[in-house]
Structure 1
Amino acid sequence: MYTLKKSLGQHFLKDDNVCKKIVAAVEAEKPEQLLEVGPGGGAITRYLVQLPEVSFRAVELDAEKVQYLTATYPELKDKIIHESILDTAAPFEGIFHIVGNFPYNISTQILFKILDWKEQVPVITGMFQKEVAQRVAAAPGSKIYGVISVLIQAFYEVDYLFDVSEQSFNPPPKVKSGVIRLRRRQTTEPRKSDRAFTVLVKTAFNQRRKTLRNAVKPLFDEATLKDDIFNKRAEQLSVSDFAGLSFKMK
Structure 2
Amino acid sequence: MLQRLICECGAELSSCAAFCLNCGRRHAVGCGVYVSESRVFVRIFGERDFEEFSIKRYDEDVSIRNLYEILAERIYSYRVESIVVSGESEELIDEALEGLRSTLYPFDVSVSDAFDSPQSFFERLERVLRLEKELKTVKIPPEEKIHGSHSTIIGGREGYKLILSLAKSPYVKKVVPGVIEGNATSIGGGVKLKLTRSDEKGNVRALLIDGSSVQQVYVITTASSREEGEEVLKLLSGYVRDLQE
Normalising to structure 2: TM-score of the pair? 0.28
Greater fraction of residues in strand: 2
Greater fraction of residues in helix: 1
**RCO comparison, higher one (Cα < 8 Å, 6+):** 1
Normalising to structure 1: TM-score of the pair? 0.27
